[in-house]
Structure 1
Amino acid sequence: MEHPDTRKLDRTQAKHVWDVAEYCRRTGIHRAEEKRLIKVLGRYATSHELQMNIVRPQTRTR
């Protein structure tokens, strides 16, 4: 197996991968929601995956 030359990689397509627990701590997500996200996504996920899977409490509307 050949290793890719990192100098030739296109960095514009790279995605930031978060530790789910760290992301939840930084954004103030409840501990129960953090556990659910870890079950659904695993230990690591992209920010887009996290944002699409977070269940926020319903806000009161008029």
Structure 2
Amino acid sequence: MVECPLLQGCYTQGKTLDEALKNIHEVIELCLEEQKEEIVEQLGTIQEFSYHIVAVEI
């Protein structure tokens, strides 16, 4: 089972890990399309936004 914890109800499975990963990409697209209106409404209520790029050393 593979899940995208950032999107509620966005999970899938597959017979192999590769299949499950392929499936989750499709499910993420569907979840985003389904939640697009809600996301746009939420973005409309944002009054301040900042964008930061940070470097992470691994």
Q: Would the TM-score normalized by the shorter structure come out above 0.5?
A: no
TM-score calculated relative to the size of structure 2: 0.25
TM-score calculated relative to the size of structure 1: 0.24
Larger Rg: 1
Higher relative contact order, chain-length normalized (CA < 8 Å, sep 6+) = 1
